[in-house]
Amino acid sequence: MISPAESTKSIRLEILRQDTPSSQGYWQTFDVPITPASNVTSLLRTISGRPVTSDGRNVAPPAYEASCLEEVCGSCTMVINGRVRQACSTLVRRLMAESPGSPITIEPMTKFPVIRDLIVDRSRMFENLKRIKAWIPIDGSFNLGAGPKITPEQQHTMYPLSRCMSCGSCLEACPQFTRDNHFLGAQIFSMARYYNMHPNGKPDADARMEVLMGDGGITDCGNSQNCVRVCPKDIPLTESIGVIGRSATVYSIKKFFSK
């Protein structure tokens, strides 16, 4: 780690802060030393070591979530220079190349309730996973032999879907997903597609379709395609939305004739 004393260049950070879930947000500015390898989480960590604003006030360090620092856990998702992304994989030198001379602005995600500063409550994403039965029901953990054979083609379709780290970027960018509606969003459509594809996930497929066709379901998707543009893992989210849309049509017809 490089301590502030070892670095000469610095950059200005403007951070949108909020002390509690019910209080008003306010901006605070910090000048933070940087190195060629700096990323946004390392700047936030540096501030924690010396939480002094640009105008020399001692303040509480901005609160933020971070864990793996290699863009695989999803924790440090925030809005940086107006775009949702992971703070760990957002390199300062790239931000400086994008907008030379400008300060870096950091805000919490807007589609989830703020807990404090850059921390938001994303529990809605995990609750939605429960609603769509996001699991393969197994007959217990005893030794019952291997699972079904999966062709490489199936695996190539499923594996990218399973890399979703529940970061919420797709929901932050989605015009349909708001704090007060029940829209499920691309994360859930894509995960439902994943479980419906797996041979042992199929038994719950109809139950999933019921949820996906209910309040906040697939028909509310406005097809803006923002989700796929911001997904850090390049998950083919719009393809998943298409697949779920078609499944919904098939499912309605099936339901109509089985009445």
Partner 1 sequence: MAHQRVIVVGGGLAGLSTSMKLAEDGVAVDLFSLVPVKRSHSVCAQGGINACNEVARQQGYSEWEHFDETVFGGDFLANQPPVLEMTKMAPAIIDLLDRMGVPFSRTSEGNRDLRLFGGSLYKRTFYAGATTGQQLLYALDEQVRHHEVQGHITKYEFWDFLAPILDDAGRCVGIVAQDLRTMQIRAFRGDAVVMATGGNGLIFGQSTMSIICTGSGTARCYAAGARLGNPEFVQVHPTAIPGEDKCRLMSESARGEGGRIWVPKKKADSRHPNDIPENERDYFLERLYPKYKNIVPRDIATREIFYICEQGYGIGGGQMVYLDLTEKATGIPYEVLKGKLGGILEIYEKFVGVDPLIEPMRIYPAVHYSMGGLWVDFARDDKTGGMQKANPRNHMTNLTGLYAAGEADYQYHGANRLGANSLLSCIFTGLFAAPGMREYIKGQRPVAELSQRLFDGGVEQQQAAQAKLLNSKGTDNPYLMHRELGRAMSDNVTIIRCDSKLRQTLALIESLKERYQNNLGLPDSGMWNNQSLGFARACWDMLLLGEAVTTAALAREESRGSHYKIPDDLMDRHDIPLEKRSLPRDDGNWLKTTLVTYVDGKAQLSYEPVDTSLVTPRARNYGKVVAPAAAKAPVPEAAGAGT
- Indicate the residue among 78 and 221 with the shorter CB distance to partner 1: 78
Q: Which of 57, 149, 179, 259 binds partner 1 (CB under 8 A)?
A: 149
Judged by CB under 8 A, does residue 39 bind partner 1? yes
Distance in angstroms (rounded) separating the CA atoms of residues 182 and 185: 9
Judged by CB under 8 A, does residue 201 bind partner 1? yes
Task: Specify the 3-state DSSP secondary structure of 220.
Answer: helix
Neighbours of 66 (CB within 10 A): 19
Interhelix angle 237-257/205-212, rounded to 10 degrees, is 100
Distance in angstroms (rounded) separating the CA atoms of residues 10 and 33: 4
Judged by CB under 8 A, does residue 228 bind partner 1? no
Q: Give CA separation, 33 vs 44, 45, 67, in Å.
A: 11, 11, 22
Q: Which of 30, 177, 183, 195 binds partner 1 (CB under 8 A)?
A: 195
Residue type, 162: S
Q: CB of 205: closest distance to partner 1 in angstroms?
A: 13
Residue span 101-140 as binding mask against partner 1, x where in contact by CB under 8 A, dash where not: --------------xx--x--xx--x--xx--xxxxxx-x
Judged by CB under 8 A, does residue 73 bind partner 1? yes
Give the range of 101-109, 155-163, 206-214, 217-225 binding partner 1 by CB under 8 A: 155-163
Q: Which of 106, 165, 170, 221 binds partner 1 (CB under 8 A)?
A: 165
Beta strand ranges found along 34-179 (DSSP E): 77-80, 83-86, 104-107, 114-116, 119-120
Judged by CB under 8 A, does residue 26 bind partner 1? no
Asked whether the beta carbons of 135 and 110 are under 8 A apart, the reply is no
Q: CB of 123: closest distance to partner 1 in angstroms?
A: 8
Q: CB of 158: closest distance to partner 1 in angstroms?
A: 5
Q: Tokens 């543009």 — which residue?
A: 229
Judged by CB under 8 A, does residue 48 bind partner 1? yes
- Indicate the residue among 3 and 252 with the shorter CB distance to partner 1: 3
Phi first, then psi: what are they for 227, rounded to 5°?
Answer: -55, -50
Nearest Cα neighbor of 128 from 202, 192, 219, 75 is: 192
Q: Which of 155, 181, 223, 249 binds partner 1 (CB under 8 A)?
A: 155
Give the range of 70-78, 104-112, 171-179, 218-226 binding partner 1 by CB under 8 A: 70-78
Judged by CB under 8 A, does residue 42 bind partner 1? yes
Q: CB of 259: closest distance to partner 1 in angstroms?
A: 29
Asked whether the beta carbons of 241 and 218 are under 8 A apart, the reply is yes
Q: CB of 257: closest distance to partner 1 in angstroms?
A: 30
Asked whether the beta carbons of 134 and 201 are under 8 A apart, the reply is no
Strand pairing class (10-17; 104-107): parallel
- Indicate the residue among 21 and 222 with the shorter CB distance to partner 1: 21
